[in-house]
Amino acid sequence: MELRGEYRIPAGRDRVFTALCDPAVLMRCIPVLEEMERLSPTDYTARVRASVGPLKARFSGKLHLDPVEAPRSYLLLAEGSGGLAGMVKGQARVTLEEADGHTHLSYTLEAALGGAVGRMAVKLVQAKADRVITAFFERFSAEIGAV
């Protein structure tokens, strides 16, 4: 599964990058995130609750942030398991360009799904992912713009 998107965030690039690495900010902005802990400057653990169609599950996993050219771009690697619901493994490439006090964020997300979640219709999973991503950026933009 592959998703791409672009968003305009009402803050400078350094502030956006810092907020994207802050578990407290992410907890407030990612609607499916139940728990997140920073283990090091580049490693995190997280737990999300997911419901796609009739499937409801909790996935626990690890995230690794590879700051390729921080704060201009980074690679996020993720892997998690939801028990009988399946597994997910993926990566997101994120680019942050500053213009006129705002940040233009673009991303490409590639994910491999296994188990029950992997057997669900790809369109259904993509639609759910699109809704979660849209909700995240709405909340994130409001939060970062309010400070």
> Which pLDDT belongs to residue 121?
63
CB 89 within 8 A of CB 82: no
pLDDT at 137 over 70: yes
- Sequence letter at residue 62: K
Which pTM does this prediction carry? 0.88
Q: Which domain holds residue 48?
A: 2-146
pLDDT digits (tens, 9 = 90+) for 9-32: 999 999 999 999 999 999 999 999
pLDDT at 51 over 90: no
Pairing of strands 2-9, 43-52: unpaired
> Which pLDDT belongs to residue 36?
96
**Closest to 50 (Cα-Cα) out of 26, 5, 86:** 86
Domain count, the chain: 1
The Cα-based distances of 28 to 2, 69, 97, 121 in angstroms read: 25, 26, 24, 29
> Which pLDDT belongs to residue 115?
84
> Which pLDDT belongs to residue 23?
94
pLDDT band at 79 (very low <50, low <70, confident <90, very high): very high
The predicted model gives 44-61 an average pLDDT of 90
Average pLDDT, the chain: 92
Residue 53, phi then psi, degrees to nearest 5: 60, -130
- The CATH number given to whatever domain includes residue 62 is 3.30.530.20
The predicted model gives 47-65 an average pLDDT of 90
Q: CA–CA separation, 2 vs 20, rounded Å?
A: 21
